[in-house]
Amino acid sequence: MNKQDIFDRLSATLQECFEIDAERIRPEARLKEDLDIDSIDAVDLIVKLRPLVGKRLHPETFKSVRTLQDVVDALHTLMHAPDPS
């Protein structure tokens, strides 16, 4: 899955679960300031995206995330990281 696929899935999740209008969903959109995603919503979003990655998502991975592109980059990195043995 490439970054565009991840963005598309993220966009669909934001529209379906958080009722965010599609025109507001852009890579540079800031989660809190532009999309009104608070910390509770962010946790819900991580839970909903977990099946996409197929691995356990650690909240600390997302501490520095500010924009939708940051979320896409973090998920892409997790998806392509080797599993710790």
- Is the pLDDT at 25 greater than 60? The verdict is yes
Alpha carbon distance 20, 2 (integer Å): 23
- Burial pattern 46-65, b for ≥16 Cβ within 10 A else e, equals bebbeebbeeebeeeebeeb
Q: What is the pLDDT of residue 53?
A: 83
Chain centroid offset of residue 30 CA: 12
pLDDT in tens, 33-76: 999 998 889 888 888 888 888 877 777 778 889 999 999 999 99
pTM (whole model) above 0.85: yes
- Is the pLDDT at 85 greater than 60? The verdict is no
Structural domain boundaries in the chain? 3-80
Candidate CATH numbers 3.40.50.10740, 3.40.190.10, 3.40.50.2300, 1.10.1200.10; the one for domain 3-80: 1.10.1200.10
- Give strand ranges (E) for 2-79: none
